Amino acid sequence: MARTFRNRTEAGRELATRLEPLRGHDIVVLGLPRGGVPVASEVAEALGAPLDVIVVRKVGVPGQPELAMGAIGEDDVRVVNDEIVRLTGVSPDDFGRVEQREREELRRRAERFRGIAPRVDLVGRTAVIVDDGIATGSTARAACQVARAHGADRVVLAVPVAAPESVEALAGDADDIVCVQTPSWLRSVGQWYDDFTQVDDQTVVDLLRRSQRPREPHPSPSPVDEEVEVDAGALALPGHLTAPPGAVGVVVFAHGSGSSRHSPRNRFVADQLNAAGLATLTFDLLTDAEARDRRNVFDIGLLASRLARAADWVRGQPAVAGLPVALFGASTGAAAALVAASDPSRQFAAVVSRGGRPDLAGDRLAHVTAPTLLIVGGDDTVVIGLNREAQRSLRCEHRLSIVPGATHLFEEPGTLESVAELAATWFVDHCEAAGGSR
């Protein structure tokens, strides 16, 4: 179901997940100034690719500026649509006048943006052209044509939202088109953003300047594997902290009803996350006395509060200080994780729910900002329905992954391994992205 993005940053992060197959390829991410650059910045950061702008101007038909009769780009690149020129009867002089006006604006923008760094060479590379959305598609078409004229071997057009008819019309201009959403009715791109504040030239310059800075390496904590006492405010709760060398993030576990930090399923997943380069904290959300009262087991507010305090505590541990923090919740613990992640005063890199009850998070789902992965067993039909319903309330980046043949506890051979693999990939990707953006 189509939904709005909170802002261009969120849209860029969601778009980056769709472009993950391009990681490791010889790509250049090209943002269309100005609104496409904040989106492109998130994509380039997530994929570890260079960021540049593709400064293009449509040459619109006089009196019909949205109808492109050509396009111009830097280094005197000039593309003419002979068919449009013929059908509209535009004379060479008329074309020249429009082109001259657009070239002056192109020159102004190029001088402003190229003060940061020269244009990235596209010859023989894959150009990933990013905008904040496509309505008519004329600017996107111009950008594709200019990228090819600059020598790009392959052109990928990537946007968070686009009109389906425009995507179809652009099929011949790009080798691949990637969209997060293609709503059946799109009057304007801005209607699909909660915050569609105009982007100014200085913001573009700042993003380009930031992309030129060398990435600071993640801190390399000393390996830790020890029993700990987690400060949860009025009491200390027993836990276990494991941090492999060079960890890229730390995952705090929230177990489900009737379980504890000794849960063999959570312990198995934690071991797999450690092997993938993630630190983990497993701890008891309740004392033994509290756990005997079943009302506490389903007190999502209490569990979320304990989980949030545990996350605050782990941020201060020397072995994992400075690492992005993520949450892994099972059953009712998943609801607690989502409620904790809805607190605007705390930032989490990601959330994963295993066989979770996100529905128990209620209206807090709409306030979750961390990228969220919902994992459900294929034979756990009731919980699948609850997770699909919860998806309708989530406004953050999210995904539902169904493990075939698995029941609620993932006891079938190979199913828990699938959970661990899905969770590890989600956490590593988003912790690395969060660490890089800091």
CATH 3.40.50.1820 holds for 224-437: yes
328-355 average pLDDT score? 93
Predicted pLDDT at 268: 92
Burial (CB count within 10 angstroms: exposed 0-12, middle 13-18, buried 19+), residue 92: exposed
132-145 average pLDDT score? 85
Contacts (Cβ under 8 Å, ≥6 apart) of 37 = 31, 53, 199, 203, 204, 207, 208
Q: What are the sequence ranges of the domains in the chain?
A: 8-212, 224-437
Question: How many helices (H) and strands (E) are present in the chain, helices listed first?
Answer: 14, 16
Mean pLDDT over each residue of the chain, to the nearest integer? 88
Q: At what angle do helices 201-212 and 36-47 cross, to 10 degrees?
A: 10
| pLDDT band, very low/low/confident/very high, at 383 (cuts 50, 70, 90) | very high
32-42 average pLDDT score? 92
**Under 8 Å between Cβ of 342 and 310:** no
Report percent pLDDT > 70 for the chain: 94
Nearest to 50 by CA among 21, 83, 27, 80: 27
Predicted pLDDT at 217: 46
Q: Is the pLDDT of residue 220 over 60?
A: no
Q: Is the pLDDT of residue 310 over 80?
A: yes
pLDDT digits (tens, 9 = 90+) for 45-96: 888 899 999 988 888 899 888 677 888 888 777 878 888 899 999 999 999 9
Position with higher pLDDT, 371 vs 188 = 371
pLDDT digits (tens, 9 = 90+) for 169-191: 899 999 999 999 998 887 788 89
378-404 average pLDDT score? 94
Contacts (Cβ under 8 Å, ≥6 apart) of 90 = 61, 62, 69, 84
217-221 average pLDDT score? 46
Could you tell me the two tokens for 86?
Answer: 């013929």
Q: Which CATH number fits domain 8-212: 3.90.1170.50, 3.40.50.2020, 3.40.50.300, 3.40.605.10?
A: 3.40.50.2020
